[in-house]
Structure 1
Amino acid sequence: MANESIFGIHGTALALRSQRMGVLASNIANASTPGFKARDIDFQAALRASSVGGPTDRAVADATLYRVPLQPSMDGNTVELATEQTAFAENAVAYQTTLAFLNGRIGTLTRALKGE
């Protein structure tokens, strides 16, 4: 709980973005796997569920949904590579932004503790 008061919601957001990155990477890796169903984490829903005191793993499980493809493939694979790559890139930028904020916060706390 001490981390939540120091970092606010950003620590949870970083963990959720990391898990989403894994799901999106799995989609990209399985773009050629017949019958593979692409999934994604509804980041906002997971963050809301985590912020009301629910465990992060449960929030992620509840917010993980299957993608509905715009053009289904004949082999049953629902991965649309362009969609996945775009989502991955957007999530990576948001991850880096959250990480930069946390690094700045840690730097501020370190300077405060040193009395600078």
Structure 2
Amino acid sequence: MVISFDNSLGIHQYSVNLRERHAEILATNLAHANTPGFKAKGMDFRNTLLMLTSNLSANFFCTHENHLDANKTTMSVQQLYRIPTQPDTGDGNTVNVSFERNLFMENQIRHRVSVDFLGSKFRNLTKAIKGE
């Protein structure tokens, strides 16, 4: 019997990498909260994930039909500038620290959920292979 990881793991296998990339973008915004002229960036997580999974399902593979090119899964993240949610303080910086912190925490929670889900799936697959 062949095990299909795409069917077993769902989108969580792809969302973990995107969540990590999203955390990097948010952390960069927070690190530059006091940098004059810095423009906060973000990503459209849902559309990026949909684009990634549709590309993968359309044979977005590298050297062998079953090998995934890891570089292509992270390179497709498009960073967008955020529309400022606070009045300009005069230095041109568009980072709203409390907004970025909230997004960062939400992203970390969702990342943890995906990692926990994947761990559970792998434990169950291991049990199935061992016949337990």
TM-score, normalization: structure 1?
A: 0.89
CA contact 1:47–1:59 (8 Å) conserved in 2: no
Counterpart in the other structure of 1:68: 83
Q: How does 1:1-12 map to 2 (within 5 A)?
A: 3-12=5-14
Shift in Å, 1:58: 4.4
Structure showing the higher helix proportion among its residues: 1
Using the aligned pairs only, state the percent identity: 37
Q: Which has the higher contact order (CA 8 A, sep 6+)?
A: 2
Structure 1 residue 52 corresponds to structure 2 residue 67 = no
Structure 1 residue 86 corresponds to structure 2 residue 86 = no
Rg: which structure is higher?
A: 2
2-side partners of 1:50 and 1:9: how far apart? 10
Shift in Å, 1:114: 1.6
From 114, 119, 123, the equivalent of 1:103 is 119
CA contact 2:23–2:104 (8 Å) conserved in 1: yes
TM-score, normalization: structure 2?
A: 0.79
The residue matched to 1:88 in structure 2 has which SS? helix
Q: Which moved more, 1:93-102 or 1:71-80?
A: 71-80
Gaps of 5+ in 2: 57-71
CA contact 2:36–2:92 (8 Å) conserved in 1: yes
